Structure 1
Amino acid sequence: MPKATALNANSTPLTHTTLIEASAGTGKTYTMASLYIRLLLQAGENNFSRPLSVEEILVVTFTEASTQELKERIRQRIHLCKKQLEQYREIQDKKAFADNQPLAELVDYIDDIDLAIQRLRLAEQNMDMAAIYTIHSFCRRVLTQYAFYSGIHFELELVKDETELLKRFANEFWREHFYSLPYESTDFIHRWLGSPSAVLNHIRQYVSGDPLKVAINSPQLLEHDLSEFLQQYVQNGLQQIQQLKQQWRESAVEIRQLIENETAKKYAKGEKKRLKRTSFKSNTVPNWLNQMESWADDVYQLDFPDCIKYFSQQNLNTDYVEEGAEPMTHVVFEQVDKVRNIDFTLYYHIVLYHYMQALNQKMTAYKLDHAEKSFDDLLRLLRDALYAEQGNELAHRIRSQYPFAMIDEFQDTDNRQYQIFEKIYQAQPNCGFIMIGDPKQAIYKFRGADIFTYLRASQQAKQSFTLENNYRSSGALIQAVNGIFNFASSFLYADIPFQSVKAGSKQAEFLIGEKKQAPLVFYLGEQLNDKNKLLKGETQQLFAETCANSIYQWLKSVGKNTAVFAKDEQREIVQDNDIAVLVESWREAELIQQSLRKRGIASVYLSDKSNVFDSDEAKELAYILRACLNPLNTKVILNALATSLFAFTAAEINQIKQQDSLLEQWVSRFENYQRRWLRHGVLAMLYQLFLQVDEHQPCMLERMKAMQNGERRITNLLHLSELLQQASPTQESEASLLRWFELQIQNKQDRDDEQQLRLESENQLVKIVTIHKSKGLEYGLVWLPFIAFSTLKSDAISTYHDERDKQQYWDIESQYSALTVQESMAEKMRLLYVALTRAKYQVNITLPLHLQGEWTAIGYALTQGKIGLNEKMQNVYDSQTLLTALQQKWGHESLTVEPILNTDIVVEDRNKAQNATVAPLKASEFEQNIERDWTLSSFTGLMQNHQQNKQKPWWQPQIQMLDESAVENSRVFDAAKDNDQLAQSNIALKQTSLVDWQDYPTAHSPVDFPHGSQVGTLLHSLLEKITFNQPVNPELIAKYCQQLGLDESWQQPFTQWINHILQTPLLENGLYLAQLPAKDCLKEMQFYFNLHRTFDVNKFNSLLKAYHHYWQEPWQFDQIQGMLRGFIDLVFRYQGKYYIVDYKSNLLGKSPQNYQPDELVKAMQNEHYDLQYLLYTLALDRYLRLRDPAYSYESHFGGVVYTFLRGMNGEMQSGVFFDRPEAELIANLENLFNA
């Protein structure tokens, strides 16, 4: 890279490849605007060959927001220069160029002022056509404009969010490769991969991009087919572990005697011991043996205990035997060596590799046949086109259209982006290319940005410049930050040196009561346990309180007009929104917000991930929208009224529920909302909802304004309303709009910028901002309360850059961990630099009294690199000593050190006059007793408790894998239901017989349908939505196929299966679901019933043994007191009797014979569903006795039907279990539960 010199925007040559390094606050945008003016006017030294128009100057940024900001800043600069040139033309005096030194110098090179003004006027008029684009907009434009050369022969359909498509393929891969695996492999998949979504979170960054290179010593491991690899390595390794466990169990006594006898043995002086006593101590060996025996007894525990190294034959031969003694040996110790060498982490990475490869292939194949293209696709398509056969011609045409290009924030580029501009502009005549960025601010690796691409590009630049003057921060703060980073390898790489900057403005200071405040303030303190170890959580809380107290003191001074910013002889009173607290996570933000809230200080949290769909208002509005679409469903209306938006108490909601007149009023109101939605749109309906005034209370928005964070909540509601209105034209119906809304709440990936949280008002608010979000922004005062806890985080995929080919590699075997750790540390240093350069006047930092433990960027900076690059610090550093040394180096005025502020909260009202007449408030005192043993339980809770008390795991290994679903559960609406599980019995999942399921297409029968609890939930949802005696809606089936990630080939067999379910006889008289009218069906009946005293489980068992014909074993759940709850899938009325129906999607086997009556009885007993339907029967019996005085169990209760959906084929007794509990049993249970 050529040596960098200070930039002069009026003399920089404009026909070369140029790199401009713009440190924080040095006027990068101003410099770009100055160069833009030069190009328009063809003025200054080393000019471009001709004046350019705004359509010919390509300016590329990375976000829509920065594009709009840059365009506006350039427009303003053009307007200013035009006005000043017009004034200069009149007065012929350079006083016309006040505060515009570049133009004052440039005017000497302008021969024709009138022509210059004309060019600027034309540029201002045409700014809407200016070639200022995001990188993706630029790619899309040239791909379509030069379709012949780019090979794009169809209209691109840009898809901003590929989440659903990626989920679909991730789920598809999971089903294709993991569902049919044997237990050993499926258990490994379950433990290490978790779920398709979990895998996608790990590999998402590397899907749809260029293939990630892999560093591996044994590349043949990647060449195996996945199933072959799992069988040969994973399954074999797990079997070896089980073999070791068995050997240890069989030899446990022998091993214990061998070890304990040796450690107890008395040796003569000088006699060599078989076990070193420094390692094998008599007080620790028994504990190790206990740990090993517990591990061997637990067949489901695969993780090795730490102490296993002491039982390795290899270690016993070398490390734990005294020289000259005979090592202790045992066949089990030899097996330990074999097992310890199994690298399950490597196996996990190889499975991830196959997953990544498959997703890339699936995405590529899909996009070959579809017009949809993502942002990444645009980059790939243009890069590939430029390096294809007609690439040179394409590059020439782009270069002719845009002879000059400036790339902003170039440190955030990646290899593919640079390859595009390298091909177009590098070493080409009659063009100019400027890369502007700051490698010290490259903090977006998680988005794909690659600092090493920047470094490679910098080597190819013909000339390199820097911006020397910082116009953001005060001179004292600039000096302090210079001091922190001004040491060798401060950014860990020689190619990223730190260059000090100078103050670009006059003296600026932060004053409190006319006293000058130091630009850098450290507060020292910590919380320790009784062993003098740092308590991280308690110390973070202490730091949050310190930060909040500091801000409170500032604002208290503001109230007295004594906290001011003094700059250029002007004074400005500090405002709340001049203050920013920089954090790294929402958890840190929450700590700060809580601490500020205690002191009556309003704040707002801003993050790259802050999204309005994550707010409570989004979830509650979804409930309300559902009620507006279902105004006759009282349960849905009560759910809506229970939200905080309506602000009803539980007693008021109960009153509405009990009084028919009140409930009818709300039903009528929601019917009105529905009509307004249908006639005038969702926005009109919501505004009516928000602004409607009730007789005794104000409108919803007024009520919310009085709540805590009221403005924030109102802003979120209005923002959500706008987004709903924008999405409405793209949705086919109101119901589909609601589905879209719920999907936005569930989807956490690739959200639009439009969904970012908005500031609630223009009022003064303290800002809590993530460091990543703060980049490019500036604040008067900055707090960094948790920077001392900014430690390294490990990723599932660790990458490094090879020095030889400069390419990124996946360190799949962790053999280059030093390089991956160095890259992570370097990014942490860059993050620290960004954090320290946001402030204009002062930065405040809290530190523990001692720096120790894990490596941190602030520790590396304050020790000037002395802690090195070890993940764990080798020494303990006294914070006061380090800061004193820096004070002596920079001067005491640059830095002050304070003890932790008193965190006791003594809040004085910042506006006492406003509250002078308000009487002091006193909290009511609670004087009642709380029943500590009261609980809310369900069938699932009882079952889990029973299994735990039997001291055996509830989840069998076969269940863990097969129950894993490839569909995400909605976290928005928690139905609190018991999900179906797979049968616990050892079921042989043989291949589907074509004869058994001949009515269905091959591999599309009910038993081929995905299994798992989430699939069961979706099937329940479908059966809840459909009307039994109406044809099944194909669109509904298509929607559920989409949610399950099933392709179109499943729609017909899925519909066929549902029809079979509806037409399979439930009762001996042939009744089936399709014969039931909606008025005789109650779906998803929720119940709660009291246990009036502590429940007697022994008496319960006696009753079951005496009266229940499916009783098998005593129940062993704990004594319970409180309430039992549950959901009954369906209650229907037929010929004057009431029946209970429960849907089960359990996979009992792959043959219809697995769903015949005898097999169903086994399944019912294995899963203890008989207890479930006894509870349901008891609940329904109670309900009917309360609602109908003439009801009797003998006359009106018909029975219980359990439908095993996969076996229902339309024939009698296929997949249907029926029982009617004895009346005497139900009566006795009622007495027991109601005693």
Structure 2
Amino acid sequence: MTATEVLADAGARKRIEEDLDCNFVVEAAAGTGKTTSLVGRMLSLVRSGVPLGNIAAVTFTRKAAARLSEALQIRLEQAAAQESDKKAKKLLLQALDTREQAFIGTIHSFCARMLRERPVEAGVTPDFMELDETDAAVMRDRFWRQYADELPKKNPQAWSSLKKIGLDIDSLRPLFGNQTANPDVDVVVDSSLQPPDVQSVSANVFSFLDRMQNSRKHAETAAGNGDKAAVMILFLLDRRAHLNQAALPDVIDFLSRFPGASTITLKNWPDRDAAKGVKQSMVSLKQSIDALLTEWAGYCYSFAVDVTGPAVPLYGEYRRSEGVLDFGDLLLKTRTMLRDNPAVRRYFSARYARLLVDEFQDTDPIQAEIMFLLAGEESSQTDWRSLTPRKGSLFIVGDPKQSIYRFRRADIGTYNFVRDRILATGGELLTLQTNFRSEPAVCEWVNGVFAGKFPDDSTPEQARRVDLFAGKQCGDGPCGVFFLDHPVEGRAVHEEVQKRDAEAIAEWIGNAVNNGFCLDGKPLAWEDYLVLTPFKKETSLYADALEVRGIPCNVTGGEGIGNSEELVFLLPFLRAVSDRGNSGALLAWLRGPLCGIDDETLYRYVKERKWLSFGKDDLPDGTDPKLVRAERLLDESRRLVAVSSPGAALARIADLLGLFLLAGSGKAGERRVGALAKILHLAREKDSEGASFRDIVHWLENGPGQEQGLPLRSGGAVRVMNVHQAKGLEAPVVFLANPVAPKNNAAYSHISRDGESPQGYFLVASGQYNGTKLLRPPHWEEKSKLEERFLEAERDRLQYVAATRAEKLLVVSAMTKKSGRESSWNGLEPFLKHELSELVIHPACVNEPARLEQLFLFGDESDPLFLEDVSRLRDAGRERAERVKALFGEGFEPLSVTALTHRVGGAFPYGEEEGDGMPWGTVLHRLLEMLAADPELDIPVTAGRVGINEGLDSGQIARMTVLVEGIRESAFWNRITASERRLAEVPFLVRTVADSEKEKKGAGATESLLLSGTVDLAILEGDSWTLIDYKTNSARNDAVKLAAYYSPQLSRYVRHWKELTKQETAGLLWFVETGEFFDEKGMRVEG
């Protein structure tokens, strides 16, 4: 688009910034600039005289809030600098001075702010803690275990009912989870249902089994030929002899195991005609059994809700007693406070007179209610659906075509209602269609694909169609949409297709970057590539394929640390440590890869001892050495738990088991080490919040930080994530990976919001009845079909989100239909025309500066370009020396304190400096510098980033993480953080003279020195400074000799610091790894 062309949606964009007294719903298609619209509106409000303190901008994520806050700051600064109108300029400058008064954050942080401001009216303590999703899951499981244990005593009637229908209370945990996740929803039950007629169905089945008993030899022959139906029939024949036919749950379980007719293969039976009769009988029996199981699942449902229902308010009381609120509490308590207290509502309505909401298509329904309560004119109206928003009070931005979070309570029906209500009360709908992200070829392709998927007018399940207009012209180089084909025959193994796809993508990205593949005349770097998978569990496969080829990558939104191999290995051991009676966990650890005891050894041990347990002095003489070692590890770990803090104990246990070595030795070692270090870091955080060791184990069982990526690199890496994590992101080249579709797309819950209160239908499936529906809500057949329509519509929207991330190239992994298997990207495949193999990578655009840099770092010294570049650097050094002489005059020798120390001190005491080399010291210095500036530094992540950039291997990064974590907890670092002032990496330059014969000799031709240096860390305590010089090389040989070698350097620092500051100054040499300290005279002192 040229500068003279007018945007197709220019009118809508103008109204956003100028029509400030109108409520707007802005439907902004992908890449159309939602953040720009929000910031433009906020800037216009400021210019109109609205104080920032009266504006609240609610975002979907904390990252989005940070981006919006930064964009607002930049626009305010630019506008204030360019504004010529004095009044407007004054308002903009005032806004800059009061920038912190505007609220920009998530709905949960917005609610927390209001609750803390009015805790009495909200019925909360002002110092409540906010639980994130992982912590809430841990607390919920802890409560449920306690509730289940106490149920027989506290509610014997409910307990008796469960036993009567054969339900294990732990099978109700998912139902309880659904109820607590949807606190505003009433669970629908039908208590009038009678138990189904089990007798008639079972009688028919028993009659069939009687006939099969008479022809048992035929069934045995068929079973010997591998017939699955025959095997199951023989099982039922044998089990029937022990079946208690008076116990309905036992009969139901027996019937649920009846095989389907599809499992019988006629050729396996000796009498084919008889087998046909067996198959026909099985068809009718299976139909009656399935109908019976459906009735039974519905009959049991009300009994289950009778157990889980009372647990929900009790869990609320439990959270209250702990002084914590989860995300649902924050929303509900804010809603209730605003709805039921008109005075409080009027207060906050005036306080936040202008509400701007981003990503509204994925809002929680309670958030919509809170918004209307704050914006409504009628402060006494309690029905939010009847409220009339004040003029200009609401500005809602979203794209219903990108509504993809139904599993997190996002409801497109709520979006539709809010949109229609705003329009019905005088608001307007604006549409943004100009896409500034993607090339015209990509926009046109997206329009063609989704023209048939989005209707012209929105429906209850689906958003309306809005075509994209390309907002930029075609650039240089290839662009458009390509596919990576994986032809398969017959029943292809899904893992093989995924692996092939991951390898192909990694290979192509590696070749493209290494050969200088260009777009718009610029070679693409690793960070220009984005790999998206449909689901988070597959991200590690694609990351592994990249890292095996040496390609740096960052994983976001995958199973991540919660599914790391090391954690899977570690958990059984931790369970055994925390629970002495858990023989299952003990057995899993003993047989697992961390212990590796074979079954024969375990069998001999159990046969001799009659049980499997370890305890003090449990093992007699002659016990297998592997078992002895296992017991010692277990005893030592339990001792650590008893004498150490939970976080420290866990870190030491990981060290005892050699987990860092295990992680670093395998493929994708850097990422696995980073994941393990992150787990230990998060465990320390839980420890600091008061969690016990058992609490931390339960937290690990729930999968810590599954939504947290593993950002081991600060930049220069391919990004890998699932589509749900990619909203708002973009990249020049995007791969839609993994063409293998999931096996099951069935609905498991449905919430109807059509009536006065939401109605919930929550299915509970279990393997107990061969994967049948264990608990089935009323009207489930109707509700599940309705929910599946919503899910199918959302799958189309998910593909739309994926397809609109690319700026230049979109590559879709496809699977040829010969397999008869639907692809993950089936909605896109019919529109794919060009294979990726058609796209030739041309290295011609690698420019000369990039080549010079590469040659300088890796080149051959015989290469004339390399020699030319080195010559340039030498010339630059001489020019710098000339400038210094011009500034300070002739006769001064520029010299660093370190260089002077080496000249004066002579050879290093042990020949070569010991330790892990310069990169190790560089990383440690950098981490300590950052830790001094930020005591809450995320050490595992930062150590990974800095270490990788400096070339440390995974084992070194792991040791570095443990070392710096230990430093932060040391008494000496507490002294540093308690100091009045901390200055890290302070450079200085002074004119001085050599003050000893050795220094004169070291200085060379002149005694006048221009001395430069860098102080590692300076701390101010009272009126005196202490300069701390880190030493990262080994002091294990003789620290005294090393201190004598380095002390003149520190003495120089102390002298010049004292001259510059006019304050008392002392020095400390700190050998970081051994924890030894020496003063500037080389004398050993306490830190």
TM-score by length of 2: 0.57
- 1:341 Cα deviation after fit: 8.0
- 1:843 Cα deviation after fit: 1.3
Instruction: Check the 8 A contact 2:228/2:263 in 1, yes or no.
Output: no
For the pair 1:411 / 2:365, whether they are aligned, the reply is no
For 1:832, the equivalent position in structure 2 comes to 799
For 2:518, the equivalent position in structure 1 comes to 564
CA distance in 2, matches of 1:123, 1:306: 71
Instruction: Check the 8 A contact 1:524/1:899 in 2, yes or no.
Output: no
For the pair 1:301 / 2:270, whether they are aligned, the reply is no
Instruction: Check the 8 A contact 2:562/2:705 in 1, yes or no.
Output: no
Q: What is the aligned counterpart of 2:151 among 176, 179, 189? A: 176
Q: What is the aligned counterpart of 1:615 among 560, 564, 576? A: 564
Alpha-carbon spacing, 1:759–1:180, altered in 2? closer, same or farther (3 Å): same
- 1:471 Cα deviation after fit: 1.4
For 2:20, the equivalent position in structure 1 comes to 14
- 1:552 Cα deviation after fit: 2.0
CA distance in 1, matches of 2:364, 2:483: 37
SS at match of 2:791: helix
- 1:839 Cα deviation after fit: 1.3
SS at match of 2:37: helix
Q: What is the aligned counterpart of 1:222 among 190, 213, 217? A: 190
Which whole-Å deviations, capped at 9, do the CAs of 1:146-178 have from their partners, x for residues lacking one? 345545576544333333443245342476379
Which whole-Å deviations, capped at 9, do the CAs of 1:110-144 have from their partners, x for residues lacking one? x43xx333332332233233211321222222233
Instruction: Check the 8 A contact 1:207/1:356 in 2, yes or no.
Output: no
Letter of the 1:477 counterpart: V
CA distance in 2, matches of 1:340, 1:628: 45
SS at match of 1:301: helix
Instruction: Check the 8 A contact 2:53/2:103 in 1, yes or no.
Output: yes
- 1:780 Cα deviation after fit: 1.9
Alpha-carbon spacing, 1:782–1:645, altered in 2? closer, same or farther (3 Å): farther
SS at match of 1:377: helix
CA distance in 2, matches of 1:155, 1:585: 38
CA distance in 1, matches of 2:255, 2:169: 19
CA distance in 2, matches of 1:501, 1:738: 54
For 2:785, the equivalent position in structure 1 comes to 818
For the pair 1:443 / 2:441, whether they are aligned, the reply is no
CA distance in 1, matches of 2:785, 2:156: 38
For 1:794, the equivalent position in structure 2 comes to 746
CA distance in 1, matches of 2:522, 2:318: 59
Instruction: Check the 8 A contact 1:491/1:830 in 2, yes or no.
Output: no
For 1:206, the equivalent position in structure 2 comes to 179
CA distance in 2, matches of 1:189, 1:646: 38
For 2:731, the equivalent position in structure 1 comes to 779
CA distance in 2, matches of 1:451, 1:482: 22
Instruction: Check the 8 A contact 1:5/1:465 in 2, yes or no.
Output: no
- 1:686 Cα deviation after fit: 6.9
Alpha-carbon spacing, 1:37–1:395, altered in 2? closer, same or farther (3 Å): same
Q: What is the aligned counterpart of 1:537 among 486, 493, 498? A: 493
Alpha-carbon spacing, 1:466–1:685, altered in 2? closer, same or farther (3 Å): same
Structure 2 unmatched runs, 5+: 1-8, 217-226, 241-252, 265-279, 377-387, 579-584, 597-622, 762-776, 841-850, 861-1087
Letter of the 1:548 counterpart: E
Alpha-carbon spacing, 1:206–1:536, altered in 2? closer, same or farther (3 Å): farther
SS at match of 1:775: coil
For 1:35, the equivalent position in structure 2 comes to 41
CA distance in 2, matches of 1:491, 1:447: 27
Letter of the 2:40 counterpart: S
For 1:452, the equivalent position in structure 2 comes to 413
Which whole-Å deviations, capped at 9, do the CAs of 1:545-595 have from their partners, x for residues lacking one? 24533442343243232x1121xxxx3211122222211335533443454
Instruction: Check the 8 A contact 2:437/2:807 in 1, yes or no.
Output: yes
The within-5 A match list for 1:49-448 is 51-85=49-83, 89=84, 111-112=85-86, 115-147=87-119, 149-150=121-122, 152=124, 156-160=128-132, 161-171=135-145, 172-173=147-148, 176=151, 186=163, 189=166, 196=170, 199-201=172-174, 203-207=176-180, 209-213=182-186, 222-223=190-191, 233=195, 237-238=197-198, 241-250=201-210, 295=236, 298-299=239-240, 301-303=254-256, 304-307=258-261, 340=292, 343-347=295-299, 349-366=301-318, 371-388=323-340, 390-391=341-342, 393-426=343-376, 427-429=388-390, 431-448=392-409
Which protein has the bigger helix share?
Answer: 2
Instruction: Check the 8 A contact 1:724/1:737 in 2, yes or no.
Output: no
For 1:481, the equivalent position in structure 2 comes to 446
Which whole-Å deviations, capped at 9, do the CAs of 1:63-109 have from their partners, x for residues lacking one? 33322232222122222222333xxx5xxxxxxxxxxxxxxxxxxxx
Alpha-carbon spacing, 1:700–1:791, altered in 2? closer, same or farther (3 Å): closer
For the pair 1:469 / 2:468, whether they are aligned, the reply is no
Alpha-carbon spacing, 1:120–1:342, altered in 2? closer, same or farther (3 Å): closer
Instruction: Check the 8 A contact 1:785/1:845 in 2, yes or no.
Output: yes
CA distance in 2, matches of 1:685, 1:201: 29
The within-5 A match list for 1:567-582 is 571-582=521-532
For 1:942, the equivalent position in structure 2 comes to none
Which whole-Å deviations, capped at 9, do the CAs of 1:1105-1138 have from their partners, x for residues lacking one? xxxxxxxxxxxxxxxxxxxxxxxxxxxxxxxxxx
- 1:831 Cα deviation after fit: 0.8
CA distance in 2, matches of 1:379, 1:293: 56
CA distance in 2, matches of 1:248, 1:522: 54
Alpha-carbon spacing, 1:805–1:841, altered in 2? closer, same or farther (3 Å): farther
For the pair 1:847 / 2:791, whether they are aligned, the reply is no
Q: What is the aligned counterpart of 1:719 among 655, 674, 678? A: 678
CA distance in 2, matches of 1:333, 1:622: 44
Alpha-carbon spacing, 1:429–1:359, altered in 2? closer, same or farther (3 Å): same
- 1:455 Cα deviation after fit: 0.8
The within-5 A match list for 1:369-768 is 371-388=323-340, 390-391=341-342, 393-426=343-376, 427-429=388-390, 431-461=392-422, 462-487=427-452, 489=454, 493-494=458-459, 496-509=463-476, 511=477, 516-517=478-479, 519-529=480-490, 535-538=491-494, 541-542=496-497, 544-546=499-501, 548-561=503-516, 563-566=517-520, 571-596=521-546, 599-607=549-557, 610-616=559-565, 708-731=667-690, 738-748=693-703, 756-762=708-714, 764-768=716-720
- 1:837 Cα deviation after fit: 1.1
Alpha-carbon spacing, 1:724–1:821, altered in 2? closer, same or farther (3 Å): closer
The within-5 A match list for 1:969-980 is none
Instruction: Check the 8 A contact 2:513/2:526 in 1, yes or no.
Output: no
Alpha-carbon spacing, 1:199–1:577, altered in 2? closer, same or farther (3 Å): farther
Letter of the 1:384 counterpart: T
Q: What is the aligned counterpart of 2:834 among 896, 906, 918? A: 896
CA distance in 2, matches of 1:335, 1:621: 45
Aligned residue pairs: how many? Answer: 723
CA distance in 2, matches of 1:395, 1:805: 22
- 1:617 Cα deviation after fit: 5.0
Structure 1 unmatched runs, 5+: 43-50, 90-110, 216-220, 257-285, 311-327, 530-534, 630-635, 648-656, 693-698, 863-878, 887-894, 903-909, 917-1235
SS at match of 1:25: coil
- 1:407 Cα deviation after fit: 1.0
Alpha-carbon spacing, 1:350–1:182, altered in 2? closer, same or farther (3 Å): closer
Which whole-Å deviations, capped at 9, do the CAs of 1:372-391 have from their partners, x for residues lacking one? 32221121122223332x33
TM-score by length of 1: 0.51
- 1:37 Cα deviation after fit: 0.7
Instruction: Check the 8 A contact 1:346/1:812 in 2, yes or no.
Output: yes
- 1:24 Cα deviation after fit: 1.4
Which whole-Å deviations, capped at 9, do the CAs of 1:803-860 have from their partners, x for residues lacking one? x88956527431244322110101101111111111111111122333896777744x
SS at match of 1:55: helix
Of residues 815-824 and 403-412 in structure 1, the stretch that sits farther from structure 2 once superposed is: 815-824
Letter of the 1:783 counterpart: F
CA distance in 2, matches of 1:413, 1:444: 9
